[in-house]
Structure 1
Amino acid sequence: MSTALDNGARAAADHPFRDRLLDGLASSINERGYRDTTVADIVRDARTSKRTFYEQFASKEECLIELLRRNNDNLIASIVAAVDPETDWRAQVRQAVTAYVDYISARQAITLTWIREAPALGAVAHPLHRTAMEHLTDMLVELTANPGFRRAGLAPVSRPLALIILGGLRELTALLVEDGHDLRGIIEPAITASEAVLGGR
């Protein structure tokens, strides 16, 4: 399960009760899903009070947005940490895709909430989605600028192509998560598509 403290640098700067509440929301999502989670469930799992909750968050929705923002930051950090920038670019693609699948597989309830519930929040969640895709795009551009890609004569991927790769990966993830399939089924199609786009420019 993802925890607020997974992202140590950012979490250290935040109020400790905020971290506990985010962990409480994550725990409740794993147990009963976001839609059936109440503020009472969150504070019970966090072992704190409603008063403390509302000192940190205006609503359950605001708490969810912060949880998903941190989850996305941690996903990016996990992928970057898994990739060896000196190795062959194809090996890097496999490392990145595998790290992505490992991360979301360990957090399927949060992933499902991101796919199903976040869009239902409407305009309030739009900045979260936009920022997440911008950061993921930045990550992909930076990874494809490393020594392994340069040695292969490959320029950094353009932002539009990076977005196409990420959008396809997100849709495939949504399909498998919603249908309850093994998420490792993402790995080979994602590697094949990524290599075709990155190597065929």
Structure 2
Amino acid sequence: MTQALQDSEVAANHRQRLLEGMAHAVASRGYADTTIADIVREAAVSRRTFYEHFNTKADCLLALYEAASRSALAVLRGAIDPARDWQEQVEKAMAAYFGCLEQSPMLVRTLFVEILGLGAEGLAVRRRANEDVVAFMLQMINGGHGMRGIHRRRTPLSREMAMAVVGGINELVLQAIEDERVDRLQELTAPAIALLRAVTRDAG
């Protein structure tokens, strides 16, 4: 192994530990009360190492949001089983998604609420994450990839309607946060499925 490759692996490991440190810190303290000292202590790295990867605490939160969004999308992709009917796949995917979120209530509050407090950068990273989910939906529903038994639409699902579904599900999560029901996000599975079914049903 070359020195450059070793250095790259060490850097990747440090970055991952910092993201995990950020996640642990905000899960126990909340974002506002989390300091860089808390993050590096949780990550077991130096403050210097933190600044080799991030300029500010907000930068670390943005990176954590992106990583968490990729993980959530991976959960959705992993729930697609070509051997199952469309309805079963949707139910499994939604239950897996909300189950994933339910495991870290404090982190959910941070990622869904406090990310918006980072201004334009927070909105941009949230928009990119939503766009990735929309692209996944359009690929699965319009392309029928792995969707056995899916009802064939007369017209393709539009990007706007797919975004409406993603936005609606996000609002369900935000409402659950406001109602202090973050530890019961699995309860959102049924309304989320109903919303998706309504939108993917042909109007004509």
User: TM-score if structure 2 supplies the norm length?
Assistant: 0.86
Q: Secondary structure of 2:147's partner?
A: helix
Deviation at 1:150, TM superposition (A): 6.8
Identity %: 34
CA distance in 1, matches of 2:11, 2:139: 28
Q: Which has the larger radius of gyration?
A: 2
Q: Which amino acid aligns with 1:95?
A: K
Query: C-alpha offsets along residues 140-178 of structure 1, whole Å, 9 cap, x if unaligned?
Result: 111212253675323652211111111000001111123
Q: Which amino acid aligns with 1:103?
A: C
Does residue 45 of the first structure (1) align with residue 47 of the second (2)?
A: no
Q: Secondary structure of 1:148's partner?
A: coil
For these two proteins, the number of residue pairs brought into alignment is 191
User: 2:197 maps to which residue?
Assistant: 195
Uncovered stretches (5+) of structure 2, i.e. residues with no partner? 1-7
CA distance in 1, matches of 2:167, 2:14: 35
User: 1:179 maps to which residue?
Assistant: 179
Deviation at 1:111, TM superposition (A): 1.6
User: TM-score if structure 1 supplies the norm length?
Assistant: 0.87
C-alpha RMSD of matched pairs (Å): 2.0
Does residue 18 of the first structure (1) align with residue 20 of the second (2)?
A: no
Deviation at 1:139, TM superposition (A): 1.0
Uncovered stretches (5+) of structure 1, i.e. residues with no partner? 1-10
Matches within 5 A, 1:115-154: 115-144=112-141, 145=143, 146-148=145-147, 152-154=151-153
CA distance in 2, matches of 1:143, 1:111: 26
Aligned 8 A contact 1:137 1:166 in 2: yes
* CA 1:151–1:29: 2 relative to 1, 3 Å: closer
Stretches (4+) displaced over 4 A: 11-14
